[in-house]
Every structure is written in structure tokens, then in C-alpha cells.
């Protein structure tokens, strides 16, 4: 391993010391004609973004990258790639963390390490007039050396969980390799095998969760995810609802 990531030939690496946000840079590059497989990696971000307009604190020492993808699919299908990315990260982290570490997933896009958030995925896309996806930017942030304090959901880093000195470059290399595998599998076999693998690592299945929607808050059993990736919640009285976008909290009430 060197300081320069060795990525599979399907990628074109754009390596930067510092940028506002790798997702934003990827979108600017799309405007200049960048194609499928362009991977923007920065050692630090000045305005890293999380889901729902939140800040993603981005000091040097952690991984920040965004991959441009141009899959031939609908926007709903493209959203399934965030589950593929979570699987790719779990597979990529496994050889780098202590044995018996627990790497699990929190719907929709979080990767947990020993029940605390270690990584987040931010998927942004544009749809062509045909209704098909024009481009997709898959952004990934992994807390390698440090994690932010005072987050709503507890956060951690590989270092804080006893992984020793893991190199950011190694996390990027492993993730990018496994992402290709997962994307090829999704292209060939659809979402079903990814869904199945994701559910094996899903946190809180069968337990009580609370989802906060714009107009209501639902508490019930986390039944699983459906064939599109939507969360299925079982309410008291037996009614089942599917939720496509929300924050999910473990337990009866949102903090
Ligand atoms: C979340 O969990 O809220 C998603 C976090 C995504 C953070 C990554 S870091 C690389 C890429 N660039 C950004 O500005 N955000 C994503």
C-alpha cells in the first residue's frame, strides 16, 4: 500500500487535499462531462454535507469520497445503490477491524461499528426527461481517526474502537473494490440479493423503532425493508406502513 490509492481500472481518481464537499466537486465535474467511475477523494472537506442538510464534520484523518455513477435505471432503483455501498463498506472494513467487531446497518444509509455510527452515505441524483437516471453521486464519509462529539446518534471511529492505525487509503481501496462487486451484482441480479445481505446486518429488526415523518411520528416494530428498500414498520393493531425517507430512532421516542 502506498499513499496513492490503487483503485480498480474502472475508476478515474481525482485526489484533492481539501475541497468544500466531494459531492459538490463531483457534481461540478459532471457539468464538465465527467463519466461513470469518476471518484473524487479529499483528505479534508470545508463544507461536508450529511443527509437532510446536516453538516458532516470533515477534518483530515477520515475518509471523504464521492463516486459518479451513470446506471441505466429509474431513480427508485438507483436509491438501492446506497444499500450496495453499505455492504461494500462492511466487506471492506472487515479485514481492518479487530475480530468480533460488530459492523451493522441502520436504515437507510448508516453503517454502525459496535452500535455507534462510523460512516454515512449521501446519494444525490438527477433524472433525465426520459424519467431515467442521468447521473448519481454516491458520497461516503468514514470516521477513521476521529468522530464528531455531541451527535444525536452516538458516533465513533475505527481508531476509537481499537482498530489501530488504519490508513484512509486502505479503507478507500477496499471500499472501491467491493463497491464494484456490489454494483455488478445489482446490475446482474437486481436488488434481492443485496436486500437479503443488508438485512443480515440490519440493526433493530424485530425491535421497536420510531420514524419521524413530516406530518406524523410512527412508533412500531421494525419489520424489515421491502423489495424497493423502503422501511416496513408494523404498528399496534397490525397495520403495516412503508416509509421511503425518514430518520429512524431505536426505541419508543425520538430524542
Ligand atoms: C449522513 O450520514 O448524513 C451522510 C454523510 C455523508 C458524508 C459524505 S463525506 C463525502 C461526501 N461529501 C459530502 O459532502 N458528504 C458525503
pLDDT tens digits along 24-64: 999 999 999 999 999 999 999 999 999 988 999 999 999 99
Residue 26 Cβ < 6 Å to ligand 1: no
Q: Is the CB of 41 within 6 Å of ligand 1?
A: no
Pocket mutation for ligand 1, best pick of 58, 59, 139 (most atoms within 8 Å of C-beta): 139
The answer to whether the CB of 73 falls within 8 A of the CB of 133 is: yes
What residues have CB less than 8 Å from 173, skipping those under 6 apart?
1, 5, 6, 7
C-alpha–C-alpha distance, residues 105 and 116, integer Å:
10
In this prediction, residue 96 carries a pLDDT of: 94
Provide the CB-side half-sphere exposure for 1 (13 A, CA).
9
pLDDT of amino acid 1: 47
Judging by beta carbons within 10 Å of its beta carbon (0-12, 13-18, 19+), is residue 183 exposed, middle or buried?
buried
β-pairing, 38-45 with 12-19?
parallel
Beta carbons of 15 and 25 less than 8 angstroms apart: no
pLDDT for 249: 82
The C-alpha cell 462487486 sits at 181
Q: Do 67 and 137 form a contact (C-beta atoms < 8 A)?
A: yes
As beta bridge partners, residue 68 has 137
Q: What is the mean pLDDT of each run of 10 residues along the chain (255 residues)?
A: 85 98 98 97 98 94 98 93 98 93 93 96 95 96 96 94 92 98 97 97 94 88 93 92 83 64
Q: Is 143 in the pocket of ligand 1 (CB under 6 A)?
A: no
Question: What pTM did the predictor assign?
Answer: 0.95
Distance CA 142, CA 100 (A): 20
Judge contact between 179 and 67, C-beta under 8 A: yes
pLDDT of residue 13: 98
Distance CA 38, CA 176 (A): 11
Q: Which of 12, 7, 4 is nearest to 177 (CA)?
A: 7
C-alpha 242/C-alpha 250 separation (Å) is 17
Q: Do 174 and 96 meet the contact criterion of CB atoms below 8 Å apart?
A: yes
Q: Which of 16, 39, 50 to mutate to test the pocket of ligand 1 (most atoms within 8 A of CB)?
A: 50
Buried b (16+ CB within 10 A) or exposed e, 4-32: ebebeeebebbeeeebebbbbbbbebbee
**Longest Cα–Cα distance in the chain:** 57
Pairing of strands 231-234, 217-225: antiparallel
71 lines ligand 1 (CB under 6 A): no
Grid cell listed for 243: 416509509
Amino acid at each position: 500500500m502506498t499513499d496513492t490509492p490503487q483503485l480498480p481500472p474502472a475508476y478515474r481518481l481525482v485526489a484533492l487535499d481539501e475541497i468544500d464537499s466531494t459531492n459538490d466537486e463531483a457534481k461540478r465535474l459532471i457539468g464538465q462531462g465527467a463519466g461513470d467511475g469518476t471518484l473524487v477523494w479529499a483528505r479534508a472537506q470545508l463544507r461536508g454535507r450529511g443527509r437532510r442538510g446536516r453538516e458532516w464534520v470533515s477534518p483530515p484523518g477520515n475518509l471523504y469520497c464521492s463516486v459518479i455513477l451513470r446506471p441505466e435505471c429509474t431513480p427508485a432503483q438507483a436509491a438501492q445503490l446506497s444499500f450496495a455501498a453499505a455492504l461494500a463498506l462492511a466487506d471492506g472494513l472487515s479485514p481492518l477491524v479487530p475480530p468480533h467487531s460488530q459492523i451493522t446497518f441502520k436504515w437507510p444509509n448508516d453503517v454502525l461499528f459496535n452500535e455507534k455510527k462510523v460512516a454515512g452515505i449521501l446519494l444525490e441524483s438527477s433524472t433525465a426527461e426520459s424519467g431515467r437516471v442521468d447521473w448519481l453521486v454516491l458520497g461516503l464519509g468514514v470516521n477513521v481517526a476521529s468522530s464528531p462529539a455531541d451527535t444525536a446518534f452516538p458516533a465513533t471511529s475505527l481508531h476509537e474502537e481499537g482498530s489501530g492505525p488504519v490508513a484512509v487509503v486502505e479503507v478507500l481501496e477496499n471500499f472501491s473494490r467491493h463497491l464494484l462487486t456490489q454494483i455488478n451484482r445489482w446490475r446482474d441480479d437486481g436488488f434481492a440479493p443485496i436486500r437479503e445481505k443488508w438485512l443480515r446486518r440490519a440493526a433493530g429488526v424485530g425491535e421497536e423503532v420510531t420514524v419521524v415523518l413530516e406530518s406524523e411520528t410512527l412508533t412500531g416494530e421494525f419489520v424489515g425493508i421491502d423489495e424497493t428498500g423502503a422501511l416496513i414498520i408494523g404498528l399496534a393493531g397490525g397495520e403495516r406502513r412503508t416509509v421511503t425517507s425518514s430518520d429512524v430512532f431505536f426505541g419508543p421516542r425520538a430524542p
